Amino acid sequence: MQHPPHQSLQVAAIALPKPRVSSREEDGPWHAEAVCRRDEAGLFFAPSKEPTAARLSREEAAKRVCARCPVMVACREHALLQPEPYGVWGGLTAAERRVVLARMRRRAAELRQSPGAGPIAAAG
């Protein structure tokens, strides 16, 4: 499974995902180290009309591969920044990434609305 390059994710600063990278930038170094490059993409992406039990089993197997991957964090950051709409990336399913992104947006909105939201308030 080939992946686009990693971009640094700054959770406190991100309100919305950044735009997709161009194809020239997709030759970045992190994906070359991804463990999933040695596995079949079918483990990370759902076939059409996959039964729920099979999907859950496949996603857990994909997450086990991610758990031993040296670039799991970079992969997860990429999937959140793009955002990748399908598959398991960085140990998170598409649904789990949507939850993370919603929380990040909510937190960013709270920080913008908070009158005394300096660095100390933002850390708490």
Chain segment 14-62, per-residue pLDDT in tens: 343 443 443 334 545 788 889 888 767 789 998 889 999 999 999 999 9
What's the pTM value of the predicted model, to 2 decimals? 0.67
In tens, the pLDDT along 53-88 reads: 999 999 999 999 999 999 999 999 999 999 899 999
The C-alpha atoms of residue 121 and residue 76 are separated, in whole angstroms, by: 27
Buried b (16+ CB within 10 A) or exposed e, 34-45: bbbeeeeeebbe
CA end-to-end span of the chain: 38
